[in-house]
Every structure is written in C-alpha cells, then in structure tokens.
Structure 1
C-alpha cells in the first residue's frame, strides 16, 4: 500500500490555461474625439461595436492607452500634444479591457498635471494601469493579476517622451527603457512569486513593418532576464510575433508591434491593427513548474471612417469584403505570424 501511495504522488500533476489578449495603440486624434462628442460628453462605444466580441473573448485583455486621458477639463487636444476625454477609458472598461499600459512618447504631453488627472480617473473607475505613476510608492507597487490560477506581473516602459524632460525628482511619472532598471523591476516581480512576467514596450521605428536591431536586442535581453510575454507598441503598423527560447530554456513570446487599434491616422497600413491572443499553459509536475504558449492567434482589424466622421473598427475581413481596404486578412495574419522580411 505504501508504495502505491508514492506512485500516485509522483504521477500527480496539475495544469491550467488562460488566454491573454492585447490590442495596439488607442490614440485619439481630434477627428476621432470630435466624432464621439455627444452633447457635452463623449461616447466611443459605437466605434468598437463590431469588435466587442473579440475584446471580450480573452480571459484578460490589455490595451495601450497612448493618448493621455487627462479629461476634458484640461482641454482635449490632438497631435502633437494629446489629451483625451476620460470617456475613452470608460468605454475600454465596458468593452472588457482589464488593464491599460501608459508608458509611451505622449505620457508627458500635459506634464505632471496630465498624468495625475488620468490616474485619478483610472483609480475612480478601478482600471488597473502601469507605466506612469503618481508617486514613488505607486511605481514601486508592481501590478499583479491572477487569471485561472496563473499569476502574472504587468510592467510597461517607453523609449522616450518626445523630448519633454521628466520633471526633476519625478522619475516615477513615466518608466523609461533602461535595461538595468527593467532588470531590477523584473527581479522584483519574480520575487513576488508570480508565474510569469508580461511587459509592454514602446519601441521601434514608426511605420516600419519589421522590428529593428534594438527591438530584437531588447527582446533577447528582457526575455533572458525573465520576461515571458512582450507586447510592443509605437510603430503604428503591424510587426511580426516571434517565439523565443531563453537561455534558461523557457519559451517566451514577443509581439513586436500591434499597430493602431483606434486612431485618426491616414493610410491603410496605419489603419490596420488587431487583437493578439496567446494561450498560456501552466504545468506543475515532478519536474517543477513550466509556462508554455501552445497557441497564438491574431485577429486583424481595420479603422474606417467617412469624411473624418463615423469612425468604426471592423474585422479586417469585413472591411475587405466591403471594398474598404485591399489587404486580405490572410496576408496580414501571415505577416504577423512570420518573422521573415
């Protein structure tokens, strides 16, 4: 009897799965927020209605809120210094977005006041955010989540802030890409005992469809340092997804750029974004704990409008069938799922 108990213990293994989804830049140019204006407030929901089911299908969905939602009281504004209505965040939350990343080149467009105003709204509605912070303590508080028994930390960094200097003594306002700092944060996240580390990186060259050498170098360094999933933004066009093998034998996934999800930018490639879904599997057995990514899916989307009104995000296949765009869905999916230029 004793030996059979031992065998049972040995064979006992545990596995769980979760799907993490991510979308690209939410960047509200004046044409977009003017289209959403309704009697003194803003309603963005109609813009998303055709893709709502895709946003709600992952177990956890992350968005890159690129234009700072400092609220209408600060004065809504467009390129080059963005400030968006609070209502965009309300819409994202209603659509099933579970967290926003906020470190990007527009984080300081409205200075300290803008960052604090956006954060006050995130806190008011209970929207988790990371990448820009209200204090040193806020920055040191690493955001962790648990989905279907898989725990992860979410971190976010940007290459810069369009030349706007970070105010003296307020480094916490925005996380800048700095490998040493990032490695310290990754270690702090791992010390919390999470199963995986997810990181949003604002990097690369605008409008380039393939990652540059810096992106590839950072992807290697960061995954080797312990990041399991990288969600890339900034190029405003889609770049491929790559699966890497780390030095310690782990699997890691890099979305180099998810393009624009909603913006007022012109041009087909800038209007194509999408929703990347990665299935995460956690296995615990006699060999220990492993995180793998058995499945990655990409649903391309397209932003359409008519004379700068009536902005809508459509599945790319629907936009293609309607004659709005000439890029077939298969072509964009194969571009994203293959690293070969």
Structure 2
C-alpha cells in the first residue's frame, strides 16, 4: 500500500508540473525525494527455500515391569524414564513415535504380553517430551479390540496429539493426518501394518487399522501429495530380532519411494536396521530407515535395548521437497532388576563404547552420509 501511494504522489507531481508549463525548483526536489523513497521501499527478497527438522522414535512397548515401575499413588508417571532424552526429542519441529502397545485405558485392564494395554498416562508423557504424532498401525493395534482403538483415539484427541494408522470410525479414517508448520511446510503421516497377530479385523470395520495393501498405500500417498508438501510413510514390517531388512521390506520401501514418499520409517523387528537412500521411479530420493528398534520395552538383550532418535530435515525449494541431513542419536534403555527404567543417550555411557561403535557402523553401512549426535542439547 505504501509503494502504491508513492506512485500516486509522483503522478500528481508530474501532472502539476505539466499544468504549470515549467519545473519549479521546489517541485524538482520533491520528485527527487519521492524517487529516493521508492528505492528505499523496494520489497526484500523472500528466502529461496524453507526447511524443518523431524525426529522419529521406535517402539513404545510397555511390558508389565515398565508400568509397575511407573506406578504412583495417583496413577502412573513415565516422565522420569524419558527425561534424559527429552531435550533431543523436543529439539526438532516435529517428532513422531510408534505407540505399539495400545493405549486402551484402565477400564479394560492394564495388561502386558501377549495382548497389551497401556495406561493413558504414557500419552501425556509423550506429549510432554515433544512428540507430535503417534503411529498406531502395528501388530498390537487390536489387542483390546474395537474398544481399545476407540479409547486410544479419544484420548489422543483429548490431549491434542495427532495419530495415524488406526481410527474410531470410517469418517476419521478418510481424513489424512497432516501437520502444518509455521515454517510453511506441511507433512502428511501415513501408517500401515503387516497384520494384527491373528486377531481378525471386524467385518466392515477396516478403518480400525490400516493393513499393508499396495493399492491403498498408492492411493493414500497420491492424496497426501496433493494436500501436503512431504509424505512420511510408517511401515510395521519385517522379521523380529533380525539386524537387516529382508526382501519384502526392501520391496515395500521401494514401492513407497516409487509413489513419491519423502521418507519411510520401519518398525516391528525390535532392533535397529540400517538407513538407506532409495531412488523413486520419478527420480525422487526417499530416505528409509528399515527399523527404528525399541525405544522403550522390557526386553533384556542388548540389541533390543538399543534404540534411536532418528532425525532428518525436510527442505522445500519452490515445488521441490526433499529429505536431507540424516542423523541419529543412539539410545540405550538402562534398568536393574526390571526397575529404574531410563532411556539414555548411548554416547554418554563409557561401558557401552564397544556396542556403540559397532551399532554406528551397522546403521551407516548403506548410507555413508548418516551422522551421529554426540553433543548435549539444552532443554
């Protein structure tokens, strides 16, 4: 509006000059002043690109010893277990977690393996440490049936936590989970699982959990690309406790890349599997981590206690959106006699140095540009 007003003023001066048949000194000076103002008010150039950072963590799988350890007189408090890694989870624009044990509420009875049911308080803790989105499609989604899914969805909505992969009704399942950031980049989150441990999906209620189906994945990614800048696909797949992805995992990750996924996040093996860059059929680059491992789960074996906060950037340059700068904080779940659970940055544990170096090498073997976070982050 200011620039427009200056041009109007300049035009007025020109008209006055023309009518008078001459150019008085005062008017000449005024025109020069206006011209100077026009130069000073030239709009600044907009940034050529925008970027955001994302963190992804693996399985939040609450066995009985974990929620016994969190029990208080008033309920459950999982906050202390996450405090050492909270600054890292809260340091990025968006954080996504795989909530593997369904948050079905105490009305159904808190339970452990093989049919899990977690207290609502774990949702509060995830919210507190910076998690923005939870993926719900996994082999334990239907552990508490339809009631468990409905309770979890209602609870996430209550605490204003986005979720994807399992829904209380068909209408909700048709809405894409899209996070819009202040930086001007929107991210769609999709989630699918290979199955539900033999528990049948109720007839006519496919919305309760997204099963891996290539046509559905293709259609969902296509819709997501029309509504969001970036698309992150979470796949619950693979073989438990295997350190490397199998043929099916690689094929599905490549399929997602071919549809235009920005990143693929794998879960289910309960151990970490490597990071890799894939090239889609349109020439796009897709960032893949085949398994994020356990973030918190009461499993004693060392590899099952090593998890990660996997971070990367999403850069938007005009119409081009790409994942960049993959990096990782390796974590270790410490506990004694199935008590005192704490998720800790692994680089801070001298006694774990040998395991730490071996895991770094393993995770980067397919992605040499993967770096590792080894500095403290202020909370």
Shift of 1:13: 6.7
Is the partner of 1:121 in helix, strand or coil?
Answer: helix
1:127 is matched with 161
The answer to whether the 8 A contact 1:207-1:237 is kept is yes
Q: Does 1:174 align with 2:209?
A: yes
Is the partner of 1:38 in helix, strand or coil?
Answer: coil
1:231 is matched with 265
1:215 is matched with 249
The answer to whether the 8 A contact 1:119-1:133 is kept is yes
1:293 is matched with 323
TM-score w.r.t. the length of structure 2 is 0.83
Shift of 1:329: 2.8
Q: Does 1:184 align with 2:197?
A: no
Q: 1:266 aligns with which of 290, 300, 319?
A: 300
1:8 is matched with none
Q: Which has the higher contact order (CA 8 A, sep 6+)?
A: 1
* Higher gyration radius (CA): 2
- Post-superposition Cα deviations, 1:78-107, rounded to whole Å, max 9, x if no partner, equal 000000000001000000001100000000
Is the partner of 1:31 in helix, strand or coil?
Answer: helix
The answer to whether the 8 A contact 1:23-1:261 is kept is yes
User: What is the rounded CA distance, in whole Å, between the counterparts of 1:175 and 1:188 in structure 2?
Assistant: 16
Q: Does 1:52 align with 2:86?
A: yes
- Counting only pairs closer than 5 Å after superposition, residues 92-107 of structure 1 correspond to structure 2 as 92-107=126-141
User: What is the rounded CA distance, in whole Å, between the counterparts of 1:180 and 1:19 in structure 2?
Assistant: 30
Q: CA RMSD in A?
A: 1.7
Q: 1:338 aligns with which of 356, 365, 372?
A: 365
Instruction: Decide which moves more: 165-174 or 246-255.
Output: 246-255
Q: Does 1:195 align with 2:229?
A: yes
The answer to whether the 8 A contact 2:262-2:323 is kept is no
Q: How many residues align?
A: 324
TM-score w.r.t. the length of structure 1 is 0.92
2:118 is matched with 84
User: What is the rounded CA distance, in whole Å, between the counterparts of 1:97 and 1:326 in structure 2?
Assistant: 28
1:307 is matched with 337
- Post-superposition Cα deviations, 1:133-187, rounded to whole Å, max 9, x if no partner, equal 0111100000111232111211100000000000111100000000011111111
User: What is the rounded CA distance, in whole Å, between the counterparts of 2:64 and 2:242 in structure 1?
Assistant: 24
User: What is the rounded CA distance, in whole Å, between the counterparts of 1:294 and 1:40 in structure 2?
Assistant: 44
- Post-superposition Cα deviations, 1:271-321, rounded to whole Å, max 9, x if no partner, equal 00010001111112xxxx2122331101100001110110000111223x1
Instruction: Decide which moves more: 80-89 or 217-226.
Output: 217-226
- Post-superposition Cα deviations, 1:193-250, rounded to whole Å, max 9, x if no partner, equal x111111110000000111000000011111012111111000000001111211111
1:30 is matched with 64
The answer to whether the 8 A contact 2:236-2:266 is kept is yes
User: What is the rounded CA distance, in whole Å, between the counterparts of 2:104 and 2:129 in structure 1?
Assistant: 20
The answer to whether the 8 A contact 1:29-1:78 is kept is yes
The answer to whether the 8 A contact 1:299-1:333 is kept is no
Q: 2:356 aligns with which of 302, 305, 329?
A: 329
Q: 2:347 aligns with which of 300, 304, 317?
A: 317
The answer to whether the 8 A contact 1:317-1:328 is kept is no
